[in-house]
Amino acid sequence: MITTFQQHIQAQQQSISEASGTFSYLLAGITLATKMIQAKIRLAALDGAIGAYGQTNVQGEQQQKLDVYANEALLHCLGLKDSVAALVSEEDEEPVTFDRAQGGPNTGKYIIVFDPLDGSSNIDVNVNVGTIFSILRRRTEGDLNASILRPGHTQVAAGYVVYGPSTILVYTAGNGVHSFILDPAIGAFVLSEERMMMPEQGTYYSTNEANAATWPQAYRDYLDLLRSGGLGKEYSSRYIGSLVADFHRTLLKGGVFLYPPTLKQSKGKLRLLYEANPLAFIAEQAGGMAIGHGNRILDIEPEGIHQRTPFMVGSRREMEALAEVLAG
């Protein structure tokens, strides 16, 4: 018999720290939103839902119509839940917060941080995109912002959905990494693999090589090391330009994904809270590693919700070699 995502979460609740029905109810909001997003994406080219929305987001990027839809779907499906204290999105400059009881205090227990539609520049050409999410527990002391700006090792759960030939959900709640495939016949995410482990070493590197000329020298040396067989394998390159899709391949096949600092983006391009942190949590749970410019991603103390970071993630062998090269 099948195991659905909901059943899996409930069975796990004995062993994970978040042993309450609230947590699975919260995750049900995320899965509903991602089902709405995938349904929209599948029909977008027919419905005229592809193309620019006509505004730029807080990152200064052109918003696509589907970016806006994906963001609204998540805000709608999560905003009604009492357990939610705040929603932090790539598409919104400030966190969205809720006062539940009329005029009463915000009593929600969880903060959900998300990139509603990652890789949306690929939408026009029918290439995979995804949704990334991270769940934090609200702290009892300090204001909401202090609860949001915490290092990634405090995440309660994290995951992503990749909208590819199949719609696949991958998540961790700190007790292994599990993956589910959306079965369109029953409208449910069905367990496909439990306790996924990243291969110790792979044969792919994944990076926007056009930027290599402006990377710090150490990253160019590292690429040379991979290309010259220095790690004992012959590497191939694969780069989609949708982080979720590039990460998903790295998780399954091993290897390394690199987005180092560049001349144009001296602090890196990818966002710490809703891109690097959730994927770093998953990578570590699967036996891999994730670092910024030399430091462990999950230890970075965030200063802003839209903060960027260099982001390198992958198999243990490749990542240890990278850490050595960066350390000189």
Is there binding between residue 308 and ligand AHM (CB under 6 A)?
Answer: no
Q: How far is the CB of 138 from ligand AHM (least distance, A)?
A: 25
Q: Could you tell me the two tokens for 231?
A: 């790690």
Rg (CA), the chain: 19
Q: Is 115 annotated as a binding residue?
A: yes
Q: How far is the CB of 45 from ligand AHM (least distance, A)?
A: 18
Residue (of 182, 183, 56) closest to 131 by Cα position: 182
Is there binding between residue 243 and ligand AHM (CB under 6 A)?
Answer: yes
Rounded to the nearest 10°, the torsion over CA 275, 278, 282, 283 is 40
Q: Is 120 annotated as a binding residue?
A: yes
Between 122 and 315, CB nearer to ligand AHM: 122
Residue (of 326, 296, 309) closest to 225 by Cα position: 326
Between 90 and 246, CB nearer to Mg ion: 90
Q: Which of 63, 242, 309, 315 binds ligand AHM (CB under 6 A)?
A: 242
Q: Which of 29, 108, 119, 261 binds ligand AHM (CB under 6 A)?
A: 119
Between 61 and 324, CB nearer to ligand AHM: 61
By CB under 6 A, the residues from 59 to 78 that bind ligand AHM are 61
Measured between alpha carbons, how far is 250 from 153 in angstroms, rounded to an integer?
A: 21
Helix axes 5-12, 21-47, angle to 10 degrees: 160
Q: Is 208 annotated as a binding residue?
A: yes
Q: How far is the CB of 133 from Mg ion (least distance, A)?
A: 12
By CB under 6 A, the residues from 98 to 117 that bind ligand AHM are 115
Footprint on this chain of Mg ion (rule: CB under 5 A): 90, 115, 118
The amino acid present at 94, given as its one-letter code, is E
Sign of the CA dihedral running 140, 143, 144, 147: negative
According to DSSP, the β-strands at 188-193 and 177-183 are antiparallel
Rounded to the nearest 10°, the torsion over CA 67, 71, 76, 78 is 140
Is there binding between residue 91 and ligand AHM (CB under 6 A)?
Answer: no
Is there binding between residue 118 and ligand AHM (CB under 6 A)?
Answer: yes
Residue (of 213, 270, 279, 206) closest to 239 by Cα position: 206
Is there binding between residue 26 and ligand AHM (CB under 6 A)?
Answer: no
Between 18 and 90, CB nearer to ligand AHM: 90
Sign of the CA dihedral running 69, 275, 271, 122: negative
Q: Which of 142, 229, 241, 304 binds ligand AHM (CB under 6 A)?
A: 241
Between 73 and 188, CB nearer to ligand AHM: 73
Q: How far is the CB of 308 from Mg ion (least distance, A)?
A: 12
Quickly list H helices, the chain.
5-12, 21-47, 65-79, 144-148, 217-227, 243-253, 277-285, 316-326
Q: Could you tell me the two tokens for 75?
A: 């805000």
Q: Is 275 annotated as a binding residue?
A: yes
Is there binding between residue 120 and ligand AHM (CB under 6 A)?
Answer: yes
Q: Is 118 annotated as a binding residue?
A: yes
The amino acid present at 156, given as its one-letter code, is V
Q: Is 71 annotated as a binding residue?
A: no
Q: How far is the CB of 199 from ligand AHM (least distance, A)?
A: 21
Using CB under 6 A, list all residues that contact ligand AHM. 61, 90, 115, 118-121, 208, 241-243, 269
List binding-site positions. 90, 115, 117-121, 208, 239, 269, 275
List binding-site positions for substrate. 118-121, 208, 239, 269
